[in-house]
Every structure is written in structure tokens, then in C-alpha cells.
Amino acid sequence: MRERVPLPADVRFHPTALRGHDVFLYRRVADQRRALLAVGVRMAGEEPRFDAAGRAGDWWFGHMAYGYKDRLEALTSRCADGFNWPLTSWFVPRWVFEWNADGVSLHVHAEDRAEGLAFAETLLACPDAMAASRRIAWEPSTSNAEHLRHAAAMLSHIQLGDIYEVNYCIAHEAIDGAFDPFTAFGALLARTDAPFAGFYRMGHRFALCCSPERFIAFDGLHMRSEPMKGTRPRGADAEQDIRLRDELANDPKERSENVMALDVMRNDFSRVSVPGTVRVPELFGVRTHPRVHQLVSVVEAQRAPVFTPFDAVKAAFPPASMTGAPKIRAMQLIDAHEGRARGLYSGTMGFFAPDGTADLNVVIRTLLCDSATGMLSIPTGSALTSKCDPAAEWEECLVKFTSIADVL
């Protein structure tokens, strides 16, 4: 059993304190005033473990990559992931640091307590460090012309009624052997204030995630998802900012994208929930972030006790906002037209806690890094519907890319 050790309030999260640790995952849950840092590995597996009551016996942290879809449905992946993320990986950490409204705590087994407290001293003494602004020679993996050609091909499927919506993604890539993921994530976290941020390392693979989107949160049997579709940049002044926000809230194209993702999520929840408990407490809400406005809806349900939380995650994976409708056909077209495997992008990272709570984000607004090769990638995407303008969708991808790249 773990013990909870209270720590001084001035123990804060410093990414640079994690140098030398090969496996860790930091996750922020801003609307709960909560953040968690898992360091080291006591146990690992492809799925977290739950007891008969559906609770995790210990803390589990990890991810599911987009390609995990191939295990859930009769799907294939044409391209290999250049970063080679495992399709799924979950670990029980040696140390769990938790920041919440009650203070700072270390959750630790007795045999790991001394080293955990020593690392807390490292966090206490570590100075703030953010990467200085530097130019990275980003190049798009897909040209504008290629994007328009593939978008037109997918729109023909929409016009024929084969699908109604599909999320089409590209990436911007670079090679930079001097890139420092630790100071870079410090800058990203400070400057984007991403509510569902994550900083993840598995050996030479890093994910610097500034996600504004929740995939699924659990609290006992209660499940909540917040599909996000629809984006506008922030305005140059207050008047323009309000205009862009209102434009997003009332745009028929953005609302149709959003409601289709919401309906897919409602259907996914219905497969693992108590009948009659799926509901939509918020429709077309606008969430404002430092660089963009986002259109978000909320769906909730009560998980049927026969299913574990991970069963519910698998029923809804990949996230509806990153696939399309109908979901399986949309994923087939994504694989046929996208030029890169998505890897961890469009997947999820998060945690399951022994108290029955859990939070998993959607891996978007993310910089992927391979420290062994210097390879960097920032994937972005947008939704194609019958009402969309492919040229505008290209611009939306660029807005999302610059919301990360410009911070660096």
C-alpha cells in the first residue's frame, strides 16, 4: 500500500528536474486544480488493472496511440510511426506527486519513500528554466497542393454520402539535435496554460502536449467527455477577439462539425453505460485559451458496473473529434489519404487513480521529439464536412501549428 506524504507548498513542478529519468508522465487537470507527476516504473503492462469494483489497485499512468484502433476494429495502418511509440503502454510509478487544492503530496510505497523525498528536495531547489526563443527549420510533411488534392478526394466521399465528416491531419517536421525538451516544455506550459497538458517520456521518445481537450474523465461510475471541434485565433484587440469568439459560436459549419463529434461520443458512451444515463449538459460552449478560441460540447453518462473504466476508454477510442462520422469508414479514409502515421498524436495520455478518479486527454497541440535522432514533429488537423472550404482548413492547420511553434 502507498502512503500519502504531505510536502511543503512550495514544491512545484519543474520539467528540468526530470533530467536523468527515463520514464515519467506529468498531467495537468486544470478544471480540478489538479496536476500529477509519475516517475519511475514499478510495474508495466499494456492495460491498467482494476479490481472487481472497477477501481485501479494502484496508480496507473500511460497512453494509447492512434494506431491502437487496429486492435479494436478490423482496420489496418498503411504507414509506420516514425517515432515508434508503443500502441499502448501503462505503468505503475515509483513516485506519484500530486498538486491539488489541499496542497502537495507524495504517494509512495515505503521502500521508495527515501528516494521520493530526495526527489521532492530536487523539485524544491530547482530553478525555473524555459527555453530561449530559437528558430527551428520546420517543413510541412504535406504541401498545400497535396492537402487540397486529398481534401477534394475525401469531400467526394462526403458528397456521395459515404461519410459526413472526417478529420484530416498533416504535420510540420524538423531535425534539431540541440532541441531541449525539458526547457521547451517549461516554455510551452507557461505560455499556453493548456488545461490538459502532459509531458511524457519513454526512453528517447518525448511528447510535449499542450492539449486543450479532455477525452474522458472518470469519478467512480460517472464519465464525462468534452469533444472539441471548431477553432478561431484570438483577436489582435478586444473588439476583434469578441467578434471572432461570436463568429465561432454561431458558425453553422463549426456547429455541424461539433455536433457530429458529440453524437459519435454519445454513441460510444451508450455501449458501456447504464441505459438512459447519457446526457448533454453543455452544447456549443466556447472555451478561450491564450492563442485560440475552441468550440466544446459535453457528454456525460453513468458507466455500467460490468465494464471497467478501461473498457469504456476502448469503446470510445480513438477520440471522436479526431476521426469522423461514421467513425470506422472515416478511419479507413484517413489511412488512405494521410501521408504520415499519427503515432501518439490523436491518441490519449493520462492516469487512473486508486480513488476511482481518472483523466485522459486528447493528444493534440503536441510536439513529438526523438532525442536519439533529433526528429521533431508537430501534427495538426481539421475537420472536413460538406460545408467546408479546403483552403480554410489548411489555414486552420497552420493556426494550430503556430500556436505551438511560435511559443518556442
Q: What structural domains does the chain harbor?
A: 3-126+134-405 (3.60.120.10)
The rounded distance, in Å, linking the Cα atoms of 390 and 385 is 9
The rounded distance, in Å, linking the Cα atoms of 159 and 66 is 27
Residue whose C-alpha cell reads 501503462 in the numeric block:
90
Check whether 317 has a pLDDT greater than 70.
yes
Helix residue spans in 292-364 (DSSP H): 309-316, 327-337
Mean pLDDT of 334-346: 98
- Can you state the percent helix, strand and coil of the chain, rounding each to 5? 30, 35, 35
Distance of CA 128 to the CA centre of its chain: 25
List the helix and strand counts (H, then E) for the chain: 9, 22
Annotated catalytic residue: which of 213, 254, 300, 396? Answer: 213
Pairing of strands 103-108, 279-288: unpaired
Mean pLDDT of 68-93: 98
Mean pLDDT of 30-59: 96
User: How many C-beta atoms surround the C-beta of residue 152 within 10 A?
Assistant: 11
**pLDDT attached to residue 134:** 78
Q: Is residue 213 annotated as part of the catalytic site, yes or no?
A: yes
Contact between 213 and 295 (Cβ < 8 Å):
no
**pLDDT attached to residue 52:** 87
Check whether 233 has a pLDDT greater than 70.
yes
Q: Is residue 47 annotated as part of the catalytic site, yes or no?
A: no
**pLDDT attached to residue 132:** 62
**pLDDT attached to residue 131:** 65
For residue 121, what is the enclosing H or E element?
A: helix 113-125
Task: Report the range out of 81-90, 182-191, 254-263, 399-408 with the highest average pLDDT.
Answer: 81-90
**Residue range 121-171, pLDDT digits in tens:** 999 888 877 666 678 999 999 999 999 999 999 999 999 999 999 999 999
Annotated catalytic residue: which of 98, 165, 229, 338? Answer: 229
Distance of CA 309 to the CA centre of its chain: 18
